[in-house]
Amino acid sequence: MNKSGQTMGVAIISAIVIFIIGMMSINFIMSEVTDARTNLNCSDASEISDATKLLCLVIDTTVPYWIWLVISIAAGAVIGRMYL
């Protein structure tokens, strides 16, 4: 097997490891998001200000952004090894 094939195998394995670790850390992020939403009283929109509503929306998008970040890093690891 040539060096390019070995490098691609290592890249795929490292991307899988990055993906697994990133998805496992969502459990820790979800508990912090839940605590933040509870402390900001995000469930009752009539009692909070507009700035707090915006902050609640930003907090709610934390998990989808985290998933997107993990997938991007894993894909970047594979693509980066393919062209180097």
- Dump pLDDT digits (tens) for 21-46: 999 999 999 999 999 999 998 888 88
- Greater model confidence, 51 or 1: 51
Nearest 5 degrees, angle CA 64-CA 70-CA 75? 125
Q: Which domain holds residue 21?
A: 3-83
pLDDT exceeds cutoff 90 at 75: yes
Give this prediction's pTM: 0.80
Which pLDDT value is given to residue 18?
93
Q: CA-CA distance, 22 to 2, in Å (whole number)?
A: 31
Q: How many domains does the chain have?
A: 1
Mean pLDDT, the chain, whole residue set:
89
